[in-house]
Amino acid sequence: MATASVAFKSREDHRKQIELEEARKAGLAPAEVDEDGKEINPHIPQYMSSAPWYLNAEKPSLKHQRKWKSDPNYTKSWYDRGAKVFQAEKYRKGACLNCGAMTHAAKSCVERPRKVGAKWTNIHIAPDEKIETIELDYDGKRDRWNGYDPSSYSHVVERYEARDAARRKYVKEQQLKKLEEKNGNQNAEDGVNDVDNDEDDLRVDEAKVDESKQMDFAKVEKRVRTTGGGSTGTVRNLRIREDTAKYLLNLDVNSAHYDPKTRSMREDPLPDADPNEKFYEGDNQYRNSGQALEFKHLNIHAWEAFDKGQDIHMQAAPSQAELLYKNHKVIKEKLKTRTKDTIMEKYGNAASEEEIPRELLLGQSERQVEYDRAGRIIKGQETVLPRSKYEEDVFINNHTTVWGSWWKDHQWGYKCCKQMIRNSYCTGAAGIKAAEAATDLMKANIDRKEATKEAPAPVEEKQLATWGTEVPEDLILDEKLLAEALKKEDERKREEKDERKRKYNVRWNDEVTAEDMEAYRMKKVHHDDPMKDFLH
């Protein structure tokens, strides 16, 4: 038998406790009772949360594990909303500075802040609210419908009932109109048959209406995946059972992959089929169309805006991101419209202009003009030629034609005087004759000069001997030039022997004459010559 473990001060106390328990078993001592005055069964262990089945105990014995009795102070009532207790006529000390109520301070006042508070105006004092202290039990604190008034839902029921009544009335009126129209067109017998048919149609329509009201997609009880491991809930299965499953559209093993866990098939199972006959083209089609594409653009705009320095985040503040994206589209559209209007204002819009009349395109009209033999207009009005935005027929400096009316030798000029200078004064026919005479005289002088021109004297070319070439046999050397070349070669030799005589600024002479080349050959040391040692 298990008993509760109790700490005793001495062995004597322990012995007395054992004797008391033995006396209680024998019926010589009163039994131990709990707070309610009921006898405690000593055969039930005190550390067990529930009694064994063979003891036929009605409830557990541990007091600290379960509350044996309910607290009478607990209530199931709720706050009396909007109730007022007392209406004061003047401000009281310690009341709210804003409204004058005693039940709250100015910091927690829910009224609109007054320009001048009730403490100073002493008028429009707000009544005191009813303050209640409600203690709820464990279930009352967690009751989400605690304090709900069921009568507040009555207006919703009434609205739906009124809608259904109006609908039934409208359907009945439509059926009566059909009956009246058919009764006016047909005889009485046909009318009776039509009434029966209309009544049948009305019943069918009402049955359809009731079916549509009660119709709902098949409800499937399944576990919804959540972060806490899932919870059982009602999920509507929106797939029509008559449709072929996506994984049965193409039974080829190498076709689009089907993931049974997520029930997704991203690629098109029948890519070669006619697009007009296919009702399913893969899950990727939903990503590139409809709201998915709009959401994709919204994400891209949020990323680009964040990269440019704006404080925007799609996941942290989606409403802000969507609002900024809408403003961006509006501003972009306004900018495009403004640019278009600017271009149209500057260059015009040929697409929106009215079509040119046919008579203007062909140069014909119904206007009649009569001329005399001299070409003067007798009757009617002369045809006005269209004018451009530039000045026309403006003659300057006594010219009778405009600049650009004459062309010669790739130059523009005036036709009246054949001058090429833009701001020249017109000389007329005399100027043309003078210009032609001057041109003829210039040509004659050029021809005479070319005829009398003397031929230039021939320039004697120096015969330069190239390095490494043989001396021709018909070469004639000048003795004086050869002597000078030998002296220069001796000086060059002496400079090579004594480097102290070498100058800093070296001058080069690329013109080598035949005499210089001969002097170099004469002074050159021939190592193969047996008489080289006897040369001075």
3-state DSSP helix/strand/coil % of the chain, to nearest 5:
40, 5, 55
Nearest CA to 400 out of 421, 424, 420, 417 is that of 417
Could you read off the pLDDT tens digit of each residue along the chain, which spans 536 residues? 444 444 445 667 767 777 777 776 666 555 555 555 555 555 544 444 555 566 666 655 554 445 555 566 677 778 888 889 999 999 999 999 999 999 999 999 999 999 999 999 999 999 999 998 888 888 888 888 888 888 888 999 999 999 999 999 999 999 999 888 888 877 555 545 555 555 555 554 554 444 444 444 444 444 555 554 455 555 555 556 677 888 888 888 888 999 989 888 989 999 888 888 888 888 888 888 888 888 889 999 999 999 998 888 888 999 999 999 999 999 999 999 999 999 988 888 777 766 776 666 666 667 788 888 888 888 877 766 777 777 777 888 888 888 888 898 889 999 888 888 888 889 888 888 888 888 899 988 888 888 887 666 665 555 444 444 566 666 778 888 888 888 888 888 877 777 666 666 666 667 788 888 888 888 877 777 777 777 65
Q: Which residues pair with 371 in a beta bridge?
A: 377
Nearest CA to 81 out of 161, 148, 171, 5 is that of 148
pTM for the model stands at: 0.25
Give Rg (Cα) of the chain: 61
DSSP 392-443: -S---TT-SS-TTSEEETTEEE-TTT----TTPPP-HHHHHHHHHHHHHHHH
230 CA to centre of own chain: 36
For residues 145 and 78, what is the distance between their CA atoms, to the nearest angstrom? 11
For residues 493 and 130, what is the distance between their CA atoms, to the nearest angstrom? 134
Q: Kindly state the tokens that stand for 311.
A: 């404080």
For residues 117 and 99, what is the distance between their CA atoms, to the nearest angstrom? 7
Distances (CA, A) of 532 to 212, 277, 490, 491, 522: 135, 112, 17, 20, 12
Q: Kindly state the tokens that stand for 267.
A: 């690629």
For residues 66 and 63, what is the distance between their CA atoms, to the nearest angstrom? 6
The three-class DSSP label of residue 334 is: helix
Fill in the amino acid letter for 75.
T
**What dihedral do alpha carbons 34, 37, 42, 48 form, nearest 10°?**
-40
Nearest CA to 512 out of 460, 474, 466 is that of 466
